[in-house]
Amino acid sequence: MKATCSFVLWALILFGISSPIKSQSNPIAFKGAHIIPISGSPIDNGVLVVQNGEIVSVGDSNTKIPSNADIVDVTGKVIMPGLVDTHSHIGEGDGGDRSSSLHPDVRILDAIDPRSDTFKKALAGGLTSVNVMPGSGHLMSGQTVYLKLRKANTVEEMLLVIDEENNIYGGMKMANGTNPIGNGAPPRPGTRAKSAAMVRELFVKAQNYQQKIVAAEGDESKLPPRDLQMEALVQILEGKRTVHNHTHRHDDILTAIRLSQEFGYKVVLHHVSEAWKVADEIAAAGVPASIITLDSFGGKLEAIDFSNKNAVALEKAGVMVGFHTDDYITDSRMFLRSAAMGVREGMSREKALEAVTIANAKMMDIDDRVGTLEKGKDADFIILTGDPFSVYSHVEQTWIEGLKVWDRDNPEDREYSTGGYEIFRGFETNHHLDGE
């Protein structure tokens, strides 16, 4: 009797647990597509095999397909890595409030709504990894969060943890230029020079905190009291956390670089509207640029010299360049269009493809897991109906870690691809216009 019970128990456990695992663990082979692995030349009539959420193999039609694999015929389609967005405001999060201009302790992950429709819109555009950031109304508006757009009920299920030991889930958002500048009334700075001074003062404080930790030599009694702001800043000083710096005007771009060099932190320049004026200086600093595509210049005074030629200017200067959506400034569903418009202005096709995949993964230090289709990397990929840079191509399917998370053929998903039918609810904010 006892033996029977435990047999039933085991059967239940096996049935209950092993069947969902089996559906993920069974290899899936996608055959016949034009595969753009980014890590190498495009492959006609290629094969992509994924298993257990990872890429098992990528290659031509001779690639070995496991005998137990589910085979998906994708003849005529195009497969490329899931898109990586370095700068987005999806998820309906927030950031620092008006009590200060510097909020290194504030985490946007504590404010993300994993059920937000905006994630569906991003999946419709083929995005799989996203740096979700607080706004630009502060010198430092808070910690950003890197998300995998997995089907999730909690934000924890979406985290792209980059440092488990130190609980680092993203970078730090900083901004200079006019957005963080107020009317001179504290806590906001009134000028650009004051902005830089406030940032320097904070990092000097962090250096002092760091020295106390070093001096304690592991002796807990000698450690300074915990300080959430200082802890995050020390992570930046130690190179564990990247600064994502909103910046537009050419001189502000150079100020962002100057500060990063003074304190030796890793910085990614964001927007960089006047990059074409200082492309060589950016290249000399070895700093990557995450840029935006817009259908016209104008609308924002400090960025009126914006040009879609930034991409080609930066590429020619030798700068690592990526595109971002800044959703809702540009629509996540149009992310491939951003790169295509770079090609329109003279960027190479190869660099434009990298600029929505591996370059962005590098800027977020997640390039060991995403950004290319290579054996061992996460099985994040998109299936397109054609050339990624054609207006007529659609994202047909989006896969994350071997699971299909988006299918344009599914009517419910499709509505998010095209819009309409009251599908977009609740997302009515614009961080740029909130008076912040």
Partner 1 sequence: MIMKLFKTTILGLISIFCISTASAQIAVKAEKLYTSAGDPIINGVVLIKNGKIDRVGAQSSVRIPSDYEVFEAAVVTPGLIDAHTVVGLAGHYNQPHDQDQLETSSAIQPELRAIDAYNAREELVGHLRSLGVTTVHTGHGPGALISGQTMIVKTRGNTVDEGVLVPAKMLAFTMGDMMNSNIKKPGTRSKGVAMLRENLIKAQAYLEKRNSDNPAVKDLGMDALADLLEGKLTAMVTVHRANDIMTTIRLQEEFGFPMVIDGAAEAYLILDEIKESGHPVFVHAPMLRATGESKNASMETAAKLQGAGIPFAFQSGFEGYVPKTRVVLFEAAIAVANGLNHDVAIEKLTIDAAKLLGIDKQVGSLEKGKDADLVLYNGDPFEYITNVTHVFIDGTLAN
Binding residues vs partner 1 (CB under 8 A): 294-301, 303-304, 306, 328-329, 331, 334, 337, 340-341, 343-344, 389-392, 394, 418-425, 427-428, 430, 432-433
Task: Give me 286's structure tokens.
Answer: 């070895």
Shortest Å, Cβ 416 to partner 1: 10
Residue 281's identity, in one-letter code, is: E
Shortest Å distance, C-beta 341 to partner 1:
6
Nearest distance, CB of residue 313 and partner 1, angstroms: 17
CA distances (Å), origin 112, targets 92, 131, 134, 155, 381: 6, 12, 11, 7, 24
- For residue 261, the one-letter residue type is Q
User: Burial of 3 by CB count in 10 Å (0-12 exposed, 13-18 middle, 19+ buried)?
Assistant: exposed
Q: Which is nearer to partner 1, 242 or 330 (CB)?
A: 330
Q: Which CB atom, from 19 or from 296, has the smaller least distance to partner 1?
A: 296
Q: How far is CA 227 from the centre of its chain?
A: 27
Q: Which residues make Cβ contacts (< 8 Å) with residue 71, sequence separation at least 6?
A: 28, 29, 31, 65
Q: Give dist(CA 288, CA 84) in Å, integer.
A: 15
Of 26 and 307, which CB lies nearer to partner 1 in the complex structure? Answer: 307
Minimum Å distance from CB 33 to partner 1?
20
Strands 70-73 and 54-59: unpaired
- How far, in Å, CA of 392 to CA of 382, rounded? 16
127 three-class SS: strand
- The string over 20-54, giving b where at least 16 C-beta atoms fall within 10 Å of a residue's C-beta and e elsewhere, is eeeeeeebbbbbbbbbbbbbeeebeebbbbbbeeb
Contacts of residue 295, defined as CB under 8 A and 6 or more positions apart, other chains included, come to none
Residue number with CB closer to partner 1 (285 or 340)? 340
If the CB atoms of residues 264 and 298 are measured against partner 1, the closer one turns out to be: 298
What does the alpha-carbon distance between residue 303 and residue 248 come to, in Å, rounded to a whole number?
A: 6
Helices 228-237 and 192-216: angle between axes, nearest 10 degrees: 90
CB closer to partner 1 out of 103 and 394: 394
Query: Minimum Å distance from CB 60 to partner 1?
Result: 27
Which of 200, 300 has the CB closer to partner 1? 300
**What 3-state class would DSSP assign to 404?**
strand
Least gap, CB of 395 to partner 1 (angstroms):
12
Which residue, 14 or 304, has its beta carbon nearer to partner 1?
304
Structure tokens at 166: 């130190």
What 3-state DSSP class applies to 235? helix
Separation CA 268–CA 270 (nearest Å): 6
Q: How far is the CB of 292 from partner 1 (least distance, A)?
A: 9
What token pair was written down for 381? 């990929």
State the nearest-atom distance from the C-beta of 413 to partner 1, in Å. Answer: 15
Can you read off the two tokens belonging to residue 280?
């060589």
Nearer to partner 1, 76 or 299 (CB): 299
Sign of the C-alpha dihedral computed for residues 209, 215, 216 and 222 taken in this order:
negative
The minimum distance between CB 238 and partner 1, in angstroms, equals: 36
Give whichever of 404 and 432 is closer to partner 1, judged by the CB atom: 432
CB of 30 to partner 1, least distance (A): 24
Q: How far is the CB of 392 from partner 1 (least distance, A)?
A: 5
Q: Residue 111 carries which DSSP code?
A: G
Of residues 216 and 391, the one with the C-beta less far from partner 1: 391
Question: Would you call 243 helix, strand, or coil by DSSP?
Answer: strand
